[in-house]
């Protein structure tokens, strides 16, 4: 018989060999019911416990024979007979509890014994009893995970908080570090920085919304340049395909001397306004506005030829040209659907901004007739022409909003929605302002108001519905006209 020291190299080899041999030699049933000991260094033996004292365990295996193990080297003693272990604990616990006065060391020794024999809950209870008897028992506090802060023992979490630490992701860190984490900062090589700075520090480069390596960024930049060049060529080719020089020549022959053509992506402007910047800016603005027409009606129109816009420097010349073409001139502009090139025609009104109001209005007629539909009453066509005019938020467009709001508040000029939709063309005489304004605001409400609930159905109605029919509109939107009129009024009158 000998005393085993698991820290000695010969014993470690012996134990390892014993484990391997016993695993091969012992039947499964015998292994399953064997006692076992686990050393603090991680080694483990299975066999049978012969006896156990306060400091030692006599242990035998089929291959290594009998040995004496020091408890101070053991982490765990597992007896096959669990009931016997619990009975032994109960006996010792009763003895410790019977001591008068209570003895802290008795409970501490029992706690150590319970922990060594795998009785964790019982061990914790005995450590608590130890502290109850001796509040400053260091070993008991340590076993329970307590820490001493400022001369006072505290549970682990309370101790960390008392030290000014904060728990983040299972770890206790200084409060200052936690505040940095809360601000979204990250720690890289001992330095706090933003996530973007951290990625930059790692040599990454941001491309769009992705972080990539420098090589990937260079490749992405190369591809982006190639894509931009390709797109530019495609747009130029499409513009060239739409720009018909013969139509330019034909249009210029109908106009007085001094008119010049300025082509854009979707439009070409013919004007006798001498300011070249005005011409370029107007065409550029209309090109940028073209997608708005598409989005409004839910279509994807793309003209095969550039859409013509005529801007006369002087109003009298504009009026005379329209009359010569057999079309009465509008107050600010008109759309000549009967002309071979179907131009939007207007005159220069004070400055670029004011002129663009009319250009967007007449351009709306031009778009609707060519890409949406050419039927429908004035509430539909003139309402949308007016809807496209402003370059400010609609609620802040006094030219239309002021008279419409006055009418909705009970003014004599108000046109009931049913009349506006079904009779707008016949009501134009004497009611033009209301037909234009109320038409624009009902379009505005159905396309942008009510949380967008009408938009898709209304766009479908605009493209395919019976445009001047109240029942058709009610069916398309799933709402009765009196209810719709009430909603529309509240929307327009809201501040």
Q: Could you write out the DSSP letters of every residue in 400-432?
A: HHHHHHHHHTT-TT---HHHHHHHTTTT-TTTH
Tokens representing 406?
């006055």
pTM above 0.85, yes or no: no
69's CB contacts (< 8 A; 6+ apart) are 3, 4, 6, 37, 56, 57, 58, 59
Q: Given pLDDT bands bounded at 50, 70 and 90, which one contains residue 1?
A: very low
Q: Do the Cβ atoms of 379 and 438 come closer than 8 Å? A: yes
Tokens representing 48?
């049978």
Give the H or E element holding residue 12.
helix 9-25
pLDDT at 23 > cutoff 50: no
Q: Given pLDDT bands bounded at 50, 70 and 90, which one contains residue 269?
A: very high
pLDDT at 9 > cutoff 50: no
pLDDT at 358 > cutoff 60: yes
Range with lowest mean pLDDT among 55-64, 159-168, 469-478: 159-168
Q: How far apart are CA 319 and CA 152, in angstroms?
A: 98
Residue ranges and CATH numbers for the domains of the chain are 3-80 (2.30.30.100), 84-158 (1.25.40), 243-362 (3.40.30.160), 375-495 (no CATH)
Location of structure tokens 């019982």: 122
The rounded percent of the chain whose pLDDT value lies above 70 is 93
In 10 A of CB 329, how many CB atoms? 20
- Residue bearing the bigger pLDDT, 210 or 274: 274
In 10 A of CB 384, how many CB atoms? 25
Count Cα atoms within 13 angstroms, Cβ side, for 324: 9
Handedness of CA 127, 130, 131, 137 (dihedral sign): negative
Structure confidence at residue 86 (pLDDT): 94
Query: pLDDT (tens digit, 9 = 90+) per residue, 122-169?
Result: 999 999 999 999 999 999 999 998 989 888 998 888 888 888 898 888
Average pLDDT of the chain to the nearest whole number: 90
* Alpha-helix residue ranges (DSSP H) falling in 266-347: 276-297, 315-324
Structure confidence at residue 304 (pLDDT): 93
Query: If you average pLDDT over residues 435-453, what whole number do you get?
Result: 96
Q: Given pLDDT bands bounded at 50, 70 and 90, which one contains residue 13?
A: very low
Q: How far is CA 330 from CA 311, 474, 487, in A?
A: 13, 32, 32
pLDDT at 376 > cutoff 60: yes
Of 15-24, 172-181, 339-348, which one has max mean pLDDT?
Answer: 339-348
Length of the chain equals 495
Structure confidence at residue 235 (pLDDT): 77
Q: How far apart are CA 108 and CA 121, in angstroms?
A: 14
Q: Given pLDDT bands bounded at 50, 70 and 90, which one contains residue 33?
A: low
Range with lowest mean pLDDT among 18-27, 121-130, 168-177, 249-258: 18-27
Q: Given pLDDT bands bounded at 50, 70 and 90, which one contains residue 38?
A: very high
């Amino acid at each position: 018989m000998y005393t085993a020291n698991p820290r000695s190299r010969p014993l470690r080899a012996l134990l390892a060999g014993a484990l391997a041999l016993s695993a091969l030699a012992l039947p499964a049933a015998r292994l399953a019911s064997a006692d076992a000991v686990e050393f603090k260094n991680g080694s483990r033996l299975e066999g049978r416990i012969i006896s156990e004292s306060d400091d030692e365990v006599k242990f035998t295996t089929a291959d290594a024979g009998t040995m004496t193990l020091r408890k101070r080297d053991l982490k765990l003693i597992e007896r096959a007979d669990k009931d016997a272990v619990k009975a032994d604990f109960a006996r010792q616990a009763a003895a410790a509890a019977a001591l008068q006065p209570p003895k802290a060391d008795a409970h501490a020794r029992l706690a150590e014994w319970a922990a060594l024999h795998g009785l964790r809950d019982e061990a914790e209870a005995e450590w608590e009893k130890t502290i109850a008897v001796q509040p400053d028992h260091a070993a008991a506090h340590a076993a329970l995970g307590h820490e001493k802060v400022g001369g006072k023992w505290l549970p682990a979490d309370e101790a960390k908080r008392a030290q000014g630490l904060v728990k983040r992701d299972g770890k206790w860190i200084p409060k200052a570090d936690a505040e940095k984490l809360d601000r979204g900062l990250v720690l890289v090589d001992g330095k706090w920085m933003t996530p973007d700075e951290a990625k930059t520090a790692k040599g990454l480069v941001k491309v769009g919304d992705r972080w990539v390596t420098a090589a990937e960024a260079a490749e992405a930049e190369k591809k982006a340049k190639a894509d931009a060049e390709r797109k530019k060529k495609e747009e130029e080719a499409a513009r060239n395909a739409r720009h018909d020089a013969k139509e330019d020549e034909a249009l210029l022959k109908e106009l007085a001397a001094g008119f010049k053509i300025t082509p854009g992506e979707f439009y070409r402007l013919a004007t006798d306004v001498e300011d070249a910047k005005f011409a370029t800016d107007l065409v550029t603005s209309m090109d940028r506005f073209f997608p708005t027409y598409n989005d409004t009606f839910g279509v994807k129109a793309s003209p095969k030829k550039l859409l013509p816009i005529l801007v006369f420097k002087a109003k009298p010349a504009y009026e005379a040209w329209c009359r010569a073409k057999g079309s009465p001139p509008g107050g600010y502009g008109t759309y000549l659907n009967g002309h071979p090139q179907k131009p939007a025609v207007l005159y220069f009104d004070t400055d670029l901004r004011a002129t663009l109001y009319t250009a967007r209005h007449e351009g709306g007629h031009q778009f609707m007739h060519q890409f949406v539909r050419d039927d429908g009453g004035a509430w539909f066509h003139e309402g949308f022409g007016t809807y496209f005019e402003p370059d400010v938020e609609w609620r802040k467009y006094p030219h239309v909003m002021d008279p419409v709001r006055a009418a909705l508040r009970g003014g004599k000029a108000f046109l009931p929605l049913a009349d506006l939709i079904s009779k707008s063309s016949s009501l134009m005489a004497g009611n033009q302002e209301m037909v234009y304004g109320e038409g624009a605001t009902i379009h505005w409400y159905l396309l942008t108001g009510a949380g967008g609930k009408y938009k898709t159905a209304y766009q479908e109605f605009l493209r395919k519905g019976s445009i001047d029919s109240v029942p058709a509109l009610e069916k398309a939107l799933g709402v009765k006209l009196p209810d719709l009129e009430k909603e529309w009024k509240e929307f327009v009158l809201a501040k």
